[in-house]
Structure 1
Amino acid sequence: MERLSNRNFLVILAFLVGLIGGLAAALLKGLTHFIASALQNDVEWHIKYSIYFIFPLIGILLSVLYVRKFLKGKKFEHGITPIIYAISRRSSRIEVHNVYSQIVTSAITVGFGGSCGLEAPIAHSGSAIGSNVARFFGLSYREVTMLLACGAAAGISGAFNSPIAGMIFAIEILLPEFSIPAFIPLLISSALAAVVSRLLYSEPLFHTALTDWEVGALFFYFLLALLIGLFTVYFSTLSQQVKVWFSRIQNPYNKVWTSGLALGLLILVFPALYGEGYLTIQQILDGQFDSIVKNSLFSDYRNLGWVVVCYTVLTLFAKSLASLFTISGGGNGGVFGPSLVMGGLLGFAFAYGVNLSGIIELNVPNFVMAGMAGALSGIMHAPLTGIFLIAEITGGYALMVPLMIVASISYLINRTVMKHSIYTKVLAESGDLLSYEDKDRTVLSMMKLRYVIEQNFILLKPEETPLDRKSDIIHSKRNIFPIIDEERKLLGIIYSERLFSILLGEEEGAERSFASLAQKPIDIIQENEEMERVMQKMNKDDVWILPVVDSEGRYLGFISKAAVFNKYRALLMRQGAYLE
């Protein structure tokens, strides 16, 4: 039998990852909606929001308890950022418990009314599936990374029944540099996941009948794009601030009470914040423009158009807080879903407000969808994902031009102000982001100093003399010798040129101790220094080799530019290999 090629084997595994990813997506959606239905069935909306405001707190608490009690000793992270970090710094390895832990915790969080999305958890679960399938078969880094991306694509595809958006998400967020062959496994996993998810859970995300866009409304799409872009900058900034707020709370249960109670109060005033928020968007798409106010404390004013607009704007800003509180407080979810909801609310408020002014009659559902694409594009720095996701979930490409305009302008505004997306900002600041714009810095940040330390040097004792070690010095292949004491503390160095000069009689000192002959190194590298800082020291003094010591000054070895360059080349090859 002819041996199966690596590429064909990878395609087969992509089928497997897509199948499991689709099952995981269907399971997550089904479990979440089962919990939500069990809590909400046969209960009037106005009663639910008066009594059930405590449910999100319960969901966050159960999620935290699950992590602390059932994942003892295992690290649990949520969102897309840990996936990007795994690719950059963990050889694309994601712990296997994420396959099911992401599903359980996010279903509990969102099912109980947590104001966040399921898309990031299912992408994380799918990535864990792909990573661990690849590791089970002992595949290389490039193949593990590819199957990880296939799993993420399958998760997004299954969540939205949108195979193209799933594939593009993986390329834009996880594989920023790609080649044509990378499409094949991604297409397979994404398409298969969409099929499986639709078979098991066929309910589409939105029902809408969009009409073609009008040229006369083009100017207003540009205005919407500007508003969306500015809002995404606000949300990205707020996200970092909320993380700082919650980082000051050390006790995890105090985070639960703080976020849960704050979320409950927000839901009490703004009912649309309960759960994912897709129901509110669907009602708006169905033409029920007063629905966002109808079930609130201000329902008596739902017939006043400007009250609806103002209340929607307030709900928009409350949603940004609610989603971040849910995630930072211990609930598991992402900002993928909230981005869509916030963009939809802003698009609705804008179009409905313009219509009330009498300037022009805009198609409100079209602007809702364009707002969703713009928000996703700006917040995630993924314009193609935003465009194709909305195009797929609306069942057509009638809005392609407005989607392209709003998504691209929103992305450019956010990218101009915020160099990095909400997912990559923290990694960029810590030097853990695999960036293709500053490849030197990125590759150096991937290096660990301990892996490039060289130790094959002859060690000289302070009381010894050049004559005592004459044979070792002559036969050494190194031109530098460390002088260390009995505690291995580095006392100095001496170069072979000077030692040869002494042994040949050109310089006195053949019987002098090495302690008296020792030279102070131009600089010393600490074992915990970052490689970027190491190279800065070498370049500053134009040296090719420096000694490395620990925190107590004990000699560990030397680091040379030659070793760094060899490692640099190996990392570059590894970094690009999975894209070939």
Structure 2
Amino acid sequence: MKEKFLLKLDRINKWRMQKISNRNFLVLLAFVVGIIGGLAAALLKGMTHFIASTLQDDIDWHYKYSFYLIFPLIGILLSVLYVRKFLKGKNFEHGITPIIYAISRKSSKVESHNIYSQIITSAITVGFGGSSGLEAPIAYSGAAIGSSTGRFFGLSYKELTMLLACGAAAGISGAFNSPVAGMIFAIEILLPEFSIPAFIPLLISAALAAVVSRLLYSEPLFHTAVTEWEVQALFFYILLAVIVGVYSIYFSRISQIVKKWFSSITNPYNKVWFSGISLGLMIFLFPALYGEGYLTIQQILDGQFDAIVKNSLFADYKNIGWVVICYTVLTLFAKSFAVLFTLNGGGNGGVFGPSLVMGGLIGFAFAYGMNLTGLVQLNVPNFVMAGMAAALSGVMHAPLTGMFLIAEITGGYTLMVPLMLVASISYLINRSVMKHSIYTKALAESGDLLSYEDKDRTVLSMMKLRYLIETNFVILRPDETPKDRQSEIIHSKRNIFPIVDVKGKLLGIIYSERLFSILLGEEGGSDRTFEQIAQKPNDIIRGDENMEVVMAKMNRDDVWILPVTDRDNHYLGFVSKSSVFNKYRALLVRQGHYLE
């Protein structure tokens, strides 16, 4: 039955390739991906809202609020159990980084189970109060939808990458009801080099996802009435951007520290207990950390400036302005640890949403604090929205995404000039210290980042040494003589011979010119063993070294070919500049057609 279905599918696909060009077919698939991506976004938001509302509103018993402290622990534990019990043998990751890695290293192939597993685990994590965002999981789910659709129809890397980006754009668009931000997110984060035709599929997917999501789940992310910005306040927007830019550097660095610390805990359930209990204690002190944190931002936008304090242990001091400011700053720094503990402890989510919340808190504390001085009166909601754009721009290195996302959320472009300023300044400050964003730093360090700023280095990083090793060489034994192997030496098409002992270890090399000289009697001693006449190679390539190191070794001694061994010096073969250049040329062609 399955074979008949695949045969029929193959016939349909062959007919499609004859009748419909790949470019037109890509547009049709962009429609499909956009609709499915919108459905996935609506499903994720609906599931999360259902779990959260059930725990907070529908269940009514006297001590239920005390359980808020353990709900995040339960959510993280359920997420880990789901992954370990239902996704056995399957790779499960979270965040935007694996999507970028899939484009760079996995030919844009994202495992299909991410379509549903990202939705289930993130809904459980955030619905139970985990302090993370839904945007990264839905982008991952959308990327899996696009990648699976492309692979189903046997599309090439170029089309597969485009559909993956269409799916991610659809996810972001559906999550925020922001089609322009979804499209720009895909371009800035996933497709750093693009051409004009790339806009069309992205526009279609993002627009359809926004329509479908709004039809099924129409509740907007924020309700706000942004007023016109004042020229006199421009200096304060710039000052806010500097503060947020510095904070984004702090958050990027602390995220690496926390990640490294959690990686030292080998037992996954120990991570769950530690992160869950720590998160519960932080929520006890700072209730605004419960869940995504959008509710607190909405209350501030509504003018409830004491909202962040009134449900806490310090509620009695909610009318004291400086207490509100100090408590907001403490909540801000606690949020950075809460989100990192949630994600590294086993919960699923992303830093996209938390970045908005942290930026909003900085904007509130800054504007409200300035107003308390009596020296100036700033529009607090405007600065909250500006802080959100600045944080997203700095943390993600995506100024256009931050700017257009906030513009769409506010329902207009009233704040466009301040948003342009804060987004660009925050980005430049972070970029001056952190060359790579929170998403790409780990990939850059491992050499797995596809970057268009240094194409030579990027192409080299895409190569895998194991695919370039050549093995069709005549292997000589140390106890043999040139006379013993005369026939094979003469008829070999290679001009270099490895000398390898019975244990497989490389003892040396010898070039054909010297062997011919010995066989012709010019050097004499044709009965000497290969061990006696072996030459030491200029250098040795280890099988796990990256291609940048390989080329550096070749260029240092100006050699064309070098032997490859493992860490125990076992002979694996040779790598030559010819094979590297051939692969380099093929990858350049692939990149040239990347987004035509």
Interval of TM-score (by shorter of Structure 1 and Structure 2): over 0.9
Matched residues in 1 for 2:340 and 2:493: separation?
A: 59
Kindly state the Cα deviation for residue 42 of structure 1 after the two structures are TM-superposed. Answer: 5.8
Matched residues in 2 for 1:529 and 1:201: separation?
A: 50
Kindly state the Cα deviation for residue 232 of structure 1 after the two structures are TM-superposed. Answer: 0.7
Q: Which amino acid aligns with 2:32?
A: L
Kindly state the Cα deviation for residue 195 of structure 1 after the two structures are TM-superposed. Answer: 0.8
Matched residues in 1 for 2:509 and 2:422: separation?
A: 63
Kindly state the Cα deviation for residue 48 of structure 1 after the two structures are TM-superposed. Answer: 5.9
Kindly state the Cα deviation for residue 124 of structure 1 after the two structures are TM-superposed. Answer: 0.6
**Residues 133-176 of structure 1: CA deviation (Å, up to 9, x unaligned):** 11111111111111111111010000000011001101111111
Residues 1:201 and 2:217 aligned together: yes
Q: Secondary structure at the match of 1:494?
A: strand
**Residues 506-546 of structure 1: CA deviation (Å, up to 9, x unaligned):** 33234443333322222222222222222222122211111
Kindly state the Cα deviation for residue 81 of structure 1 after the two structures are TM-superposed. Answer: 0.9
Residues 1:184 and 2:195 aligned together: no
Matched residues in 2 for 1:412 and 1:49: separation?
A: 43
Q: Which amino acid aligns with 2:260?
A: V
Matched residues in 1 for 2:262 and 2:502: separation?
A: 49
Alignment check: 8 A CA contact 1:355 1:361 kept: yes
Q: Secondary structure at the match of 1:548?
A: strand
Unaligned runs of at least 5 residues, structure 1: none
Q: Secondary structure at the match of 1:41?
A: helix
TM-score of the aligned structures, taking structure 2 as reference length: 0.94
Kindly state the Cα deviation for residue 14 of structure 1 after the two structures are TM-superposed. Answer: 1.1
Match for 2:229 among 198, 209, 213?
213
Question: Where does residue 467 of structure 2 map in the other structure?
Answer: 451
Question: Where does residue 78 of structure 2 map in the other structure?
Answer: 62
Question: Where does residue 238 of structure 1 map in the other structure?
Answer: 254
Alignment check: 8 A CA contact 1:156 1:166 kept: yes
Question: Where does residue 89 of structure 1 map in the other structure?
Answer: 105
Question: Where does residue 466 of structure 1 map in the other structure?
Answer: 482
Question: Where does residue 314 of structure 1 map in the other structure?
Answer: 330
Matched residues in 2 for 1:311 and 1:463: separation?
A: 79
Kindly state the Cα deviation for residue 454 of structure 1 after the two structures are TM-superposed. Answer: 1.2
Matched residues in 1 for 2:583 and 2:30: separation?
A: 31
Q: Secondary structure at the match of 1:87?
A: helix
Question: Where does residue 423 of structure 1 map in the other structure?
Answer: 439
Matched residues in 2 for 1:521 and 1:348: separation?
A: 65
Matched residues in 1 for 2:337 and 2:545: separation?
A: 38
Q: Which amino acid aligns with 1:262?
A: S
Deviates more, 1:22-31 or 1:495-504: 495-504
Matched residues in 2 for 1:477 and 1:545: separation?
A: 15
Question: Where does residue 121 of structure 1 map in the other structure?
Answer: 137
Match for 1:441 among 457, 475, 491?
457
Question: Where does residue 547 of structure 1 map in the other structure?
Answer: 563
Alignment check: 8 A CA contact 1:46 1:296 kept: no
Matched residues in 2 for 1:376 and 1:566: separation?
A: 41
Alignment check: 8 A CA contact 1:45 1:295 kept: no
Matched residues in 1 for 2:63 and 2:504: separation?
A: 74
Question: Where does residue 380 of structure 2 map in the other structure?
Answer: 364
Kindly state the Cα deviation for residue 90 of structure 1 after the two structures are TM-superposed. Answer: 1.3
Deviates more, 1:23-32 or 1:519-528: 519-528
Q: Which amino acid aligns with 1:246?
A: F
Kindly state the Cα deviation for residue 128 of structure 1 after the two structures are TM-superposed. Answer: 0.8
Aligned length: 580
Question: Where does residue 395 of structure 1 map in the other structure?
Answer: 411
Alignment check: 8 A CA contact 1:110 1:276 kept: yes
Residues 1:157 and 2:164 aligned together: no
C-alpha distance 478-171 of structure 1, shift in aligned 2 (>3 A): same
Q: Which amino acid aligns with 1:356?
A: L
- 1:8-407 pair list within 5 angstroms: 8-41=24-57, 49-407=65-423
Matched residues in 2 for 1:145 and 1:509: separation?
A: 61
Matched residues in 1 for 2:450 and 2:298: separation?
A: 38
Deviates more, 1:103-112 or 1:319-328: 319-328
Q: Which amino acid aligns with 1:536?
A: A
Question: Where does residue 3 of structure 2 map in the other structure?
Answer: none
Matched residues in 1 for 2:558 and 2:572: separation?
A: 22
Matched residues in 1 for 2:542 and 2:67: separation?
A: 59
Matched residues in 2 for 1:67 and 1:135: separation?
A: 24
Alignment check: 8 A CA contact 1:119 1:333 kept: yes
Kindly state the Cα deviation for residue 369 of structure 1 after the two structures are TM-superposed. Answer: 0.4
Kindly state the Cα deviation for residue 572 of structure 1 after the two structures are TM-superposed. Answer: 2.4
Kindly state the Cα deviation for residue 390 of structure 1 after the two structures are TM-superposed. Answer: 0.3
Give the percent of matched residue pairs that are identical in Structure 1 and Structure 2: 80
Q: Secondary structure at the match of 2:19?
A: coil
Q: Secondary structure at the match of 1:233?
A: helix
Alignment check: 8 A CA contact 1:218 1:402 kept: yes
**Residues 330-370 of structure 1: CA deviation (Å, up to 9, x unaligned):** 11011100010111111111111111111121111111100
Deviates more, 1:36-45 or 1:92-101: 36-45
Kindly state the Cα deviation for residue 493 of structure 1 after the two structures are TM-superposed. Answer: 1.9
Residues 1:568 and 2:584 aligned together: yes
Matched residues in 1 for 2:62 and 2:262: separation?
A: 31
Alignment check: 8 A CA contact 1:546 1:559 kept: yes
Q: Secondary structure at the match of 2:70?
A: helix
Deviates more, 1:198-207 or 1:35-44: 35-44
Alignment check: 8 A CA contact 1:49 1:268 kept: no
Q: Which amino acid aligns with 1:527?
A: G
Deviates more, 1:480-489 or 1:364-373: 480-489
Question: Where does residue 529 of structure 2 map in the other structure?
Answer: 513
Match for 1:479 among 462, 476, 495?
495
TM-score of the aligned structures, taking structure 1 as reference length: 0.96
Kindly state the Cα deviation for residue 43 of structure 1 after the two structures are TM-superposed. Answer: 7.6
Q: Secondary structure at the match of 1:506?
A: coil
Q: Which amino acid aligns with 1:130?
A: G
Matched residues in 2 for 1:496 and 1:213: separation?
A: 78
**Residues 293-346 of structure 1: CA deviation (Å, up to 9, x unaligned):** 122222222122222222111111111111111111111011100010111111
Matched residues in 2 for 1:518 and 1:351: separation?
A: 76
Matched residues in 2 for 1:43 and 1:98: separation?
A: 31
Q: Secondary structure at the match of 2:422?
A: helix
Alignment check: 8 A CA contact 1:46 1:295 kept: no
Kindly state the Cα deviation for residue 436 of structure 1 after the two structures are TM-superposed. Answer: 2.1
Alignment check: 8 A CA contact 1:80 1:123 kept: yes
Kindly state the Cα deviation for residue 440 of structure 1 after the two structures are TM-superposed. Answer: 2.6
Question: Where does residue 552 of structure 2 map in the other structure?
Answer: 536
Q: Which amino acid aligns with 2:276?
A: G
Q: Which amino acid aligns with 1:11?
A: V
C-alpha distance 315-491 of structure 1, shift in aligned 2 (>3 A): closer
Kindly state the Cα deviation for residue 577 of structure 1 after the two structures are TM-superposed. Answer: 2.2
